[in-house]
Amino acid sequence: MARILDGAAIAAAIKQEVAEEVRLLAAQGVRPGLAAVLVGSVAASEIYVRSKVQACADLGIYSDLITPPETVTTEEMLDLVAGLNARDEIDGILIQLPLPAHVNAKALLDAVAPAKDVDGFHPINSGRLMAGRPALAPCTPAGIIEILKRSGIPIAGRHAVVVGRSDIVGKPAAMLLLHQNATVTICHSKTRDLGEVTRQADILVAAIGRPGFITPDMVKPGATIIDVGMNRIADRAEFDRFFAGNAKREAAFAKRGSVVVGDVHPQAFELAEAYTPVPGGVGLLTIAMLMANTVRAAKMRRGL
């Protein structure tokens, strides 16, 4: 039977370590600080940002939640970011995406000082990551590495296949796996004979943003599957395609009218040696790694 990689337990361990680092920094008169910028009132973003602010409070990190109106302009947002770059008590700047269509998100992310870029999206941090130099790595890919390491899953010498080439997950995940001495293949929607490639994977990372995209015939028996996807489904026919006969999911669907499924078809997990569930897997590591990045930024900025 496949081993479930418990994202909640790993995230809790990382947060405990972060809290201890914060305590040690406090003894030196340093308190890490995170500024979270949330534009407008998108319900999902509000929930996510407030959970980040709560995590800061739980771990002793200073946080400043800034909520510009949806009508804010790119120029006003650039001024706001410049102000946060200049504030010494702010070690990390988080701009919650998505932004309103009229705001130039790329310009804003590029305007964040690389030393405070706790999301790891700035081109300078991307370049440092590629070069294997100290950098703030994107939180979800960094969480993937933590899951593998803390679960005792070997990376060096194994073939890792990453399905998805986004700048946020796919590319940095591939680079981090490469730095851990895996042999890495990056695939995407245009890859020919995709299943032939994924069936070679000892470690299969699914980050393509399509519900149940990785089917059982695309998985090598005994592989480790890391499912990064988080797709909400509310259509009954689609629900039955993934969860027919699953009493627990059926009850959740009846209660909420929707459930979440990853980028991997649930039946594919039956072939795995180990896998991350959805929910309860990679997603829980993202906030934990954001907290870790904030503390790391505080230390790096001060040469500690």
Q: Provide the annotated active-site residues.
A: 52, 96, 119
Nearest CA among 115, 75, 68, 71 for reference residue 95:
68
Element (H, E) at 48: helix 43-59
The encoded tokens of residue 76 equal 């006003």
Angle at 245 between CA 243 and CA 246, to 5 degrees: 60
Number of C-beta neighbours around residue 195 at 10 A: 14
The encoded tokens of residue 27 equal 């003894």
| Residue 160 contacts residue 182 (beta carbons within 8 Å) | yes
Q: Tell me the three state secondary structure of residue 75.
A: helix
User: In sequence order, what DSSP letters do the residues of 254-281 get, joined into one string?
Assistant: HHHS-EEE-SB-GGGGGG-SEE--SSSS
